[in-house]
Structure 1
Amino acid sequence: MAKFVSLSFWITLAVYLALASPLAVGWIETWLAANLPVLGSPVANLLTSRVVAGVIWGSIALFIVAPGWRLLWKLPLAGRWFANRYFPDLNGKWVVTIQSNWPIVEHLKNAAASKGITFDPFTNELPDLLEASFDVKIKQSWFRTDVVFLPNDKTPLLSSETISVEFFKSDSGKKSIAWIFEQTNKQDNTQRLAVTDQPKFHGSAVLTVNEDATELQGQYWQNRSWNHGLNAAGLITMKRTN
């Protein structure tokens, strides 16, 4: 989010608001003195420049750090405008379906190791993609976004860590994210990794956000066992569940 509205914008806004605050304070004091004289004097004692500046800085900090900005994104009409003008709020739980080209890679590997088996991906019928599902949590603040894959019993995933998430908007308004991650796999005496697997590797994906920000879809690739020519890639679809 900070890519579209940088920290310098908020600092500039806070400075201008602080400079304009004496005028606002003077108008409030004049109105109170004319309409509510009982409150005029106590309020005048409270509304010092230091207090006003503190309120301004505190409000802006609450907006971008708390993160209070999510409240605006939830407003009926303004929320859609903010999502279109900047970027949607992706916070929440998602279910992810990954379709990997690993069966094609495995066919090539087996053909290379055999004298009787042949496989040409340009002429032979291609096998179905390998599908796997994960529960995912996206934690999006003004300055950072984390995409966390949760482990399950059907895959060797132990943990995932987001290295970087970048937001992009095309001239036509289409929104996409580029995501780089590091994955750690389980490896112990009772559940050894396959020889084609690795305990830790990196991957990335480019995902397009649909209009109502309920689905992210695109392609991914990773460098697992790249040194053996076995790194795979495929399709990834993320659907919001809450």
Structure 2
Amino acid sequence: MIHALNRSVLITILVALVVAPIVVLIGCGVVQGSADLVKWSSRIVTFLTCLGLLLNWTPALRFVHWATLGRIWWFPWLDGEWRAEIRSNWPRVERLYLAAKGSAAQFDALTDPITQAEERVTGADVTIKVGLFEMEIEIVPQGTEKCSTTDYVRPSWAKPKKPKLSYVYTQIDQLPVEPTDARTHSGAGIVEIMSNGELRGEYWTNRKGENGLNTSGTIIIRRDRPASIGIR
């Protein structure tokens, strides 16, 4: 979550936590020499270290986020269980593949439509874990043995634009797969956080990329259960 803070806000917070206490102590006459300065600086560093460790505990971070109205100046609170709808371009890729093999009629991906029966919408269970220094996303497509876990997640909020998450993930399928698929592949995505709390965006993969069968698509993520009252 700390990566969502823009540089000016982060510098302001660090100055307030590190420099301001020393200035106050000097003004009150508590610090009167270099020995006092070293002693109090050490205490402040120890305090900030303990504070950082405490805030990396999700319940503590969640309380601070709520108490300071972090959803306004920091980043929306995303920790919890979600549900996703994933729409892939695989039906078009598959039609092109089968047409090239001569196993299906000729298909022009630029002009020929995909029928509603061919369009695939995959539901998935999503878990987002939030810490002070990192975020993790796990996506498990329903009815499968697949699991996607993030290797990297970067929250950002360049106002007045919407807050967004950029992420890189690895997906592993525990079951045997078709020749056009891969048991392990990497991917990336970017989702924006909408005013209604939904996460909407796009993703793309390197799945069978060496064969020109890699995919992309759209993803919509909605919270599975409402967040606790007052904490969002």
User: Under TM normalisation by the shorter chain, which class is it?
Assistant: 0.7 to 0.9
Amino acid at match of 2:190: V
Which residue is equivalent to 1:196? 180
Matched, 1:70 2:53: no
TM-aligned CA deviation for residue 137 of structure 1: 0.6
TM-aligned CA deviation for residue 134 of structure 1: 1.0
Taking the TM superposition and a 5 Å limit, the aligned residue runs for 1:3-22 are: 3=3, 4=5, 12-16=15-19, 18-20=21-23, 22=25
Structure 2 CA distance for partners of 1:58 and 1:26, relative to 1, 3 Å: farther
**How far apart are the structure 2 equivalents of 1:89 and 1:137?**
13
**How far apart are the structure 2 equivalents of 1:59 and 1:24?**
26
TM-aligned CA deviation for residue 54 of structure 1: 7.8
TM-aligned CA deviation for residue 17 of structure 1: 5.0
Q: Deviations over 1:56-87 (max 9, x none)?
A: 43663255322433213334xx42xx212121
**Which structure carries more relative contact order (alpha carbon 8 Å, separation 6+)?**
2
Matched, 1:117 2:101: no
Structure 2 CA distance for partners of 1:19 and 1:224, relative to 1, 3 Å: same
Amino acid at match of 1:70: R
Matched, 1:106 2:114: no
**How far apart are the structure 1 equivalents of 2:56 and 2:160?**
30
TM-aligned CA deviation for residue 117 of structure 1: 1.9
Which deviates further from its counterpart, 65-74 or 84-93? 65-74
Taking the TM superposition and a 5 Å limit, the aligned residue runs for 1:172-191 are: 172-187=160-175
- Root-mean-square deviation (CA), in Å? 3.0
**How far apart are the structure 2 equivalents of 1:184 and 1:170?**
33
Taking the TM superposition and a 5 Å limit, the aligned residue runs for 1:87-102 are: 87-102=75-90
Which deviates further from its counterpart, 58-67 or 117-126? 58-67
**How far apart are the structure 2 equivalents of 1:173 and 1:115?**
46
- Identity, % of aligned pairs? 25
Structure 2 CA distance for partners of 1:151 and 1:127, relative to 1, 3 Å: closer
Contact in 2 for aligned 1:18/1:56 (Cα 8 Å): no
- TM-score, normalising length from structure 1? 0.74
Extract unaligned runs of 5+ from structure 2: 31-38, 226-232
TM-aligned CA deviation for residue 217 of structure 1: 0.4
> In structure 2, which of residues 102, 122, 128 is the aligned counterpart of residue 132 of structure 1?
122
Structure 2 CA distance for partners of 1:221 and 1:73, relative to 1, 3 Å: same
**How far apart are the structure 2 equivalents of 1:54 and 1:220?**
41
> In structure 2, which of residues 136, 151, 154 is the aligned counterpart of residue 146 of structure 1?
136
Which residue is equivalent to 1:45? none
**How far apart are the structure 1 equivalents of 2:56 and 2:149?**
21
- TM-score, normalising length from structure 2? 0.77
**How far apart are the structure 2 equivalents of 1:10 and 1:193?**
50
Taking the TM superposition and a 5 Å limit, the aligned residue runs for 1:222-233 are: 222-233=205-216
Taking the TM superposition and a 5 Å limit, the aligned residue runs for 1:52-71 are: 53=44, 56-57=47-48, 60-61=51-52, 64-67=55-58, 68-71=60-63
Structure 2 CA distance for partners of 1:116 and 1:205, relative to 1, 3 Å: closer
Structure number, greater radius of gyration: 1
> In structure 1, which of residues 188, 201, 205 is the aligned counterpart of residue 189 of structure 2?
205
Structure 2 CA distance for partners of 1:61 and 1:124, relative to 1, 3 Å: closer
Extract unaligned runs of 5+ from structure 1: 28-47
**How far apart are the structure 2 equivalents of 1:17 and 1:116?**
72
Give 3-state SS (helix, strand or coil) of 1:74's partner: helix
Amino acid at match of 2:121: E
**How far apart are the structure 2 equivalents of 1:116 and 1:49?**
76
Which residue is equivalent to 1:2? 2
**How far apart are the structure 2 equivalents of 1:92 and 1:215?**
13
Amino acid at match of 1:241: D
Contact in 1 for aligned 2:22/2:41 (Cα 8 Å): no
TM-aligned CA deviation for residue 23 of structure 1: 7.0
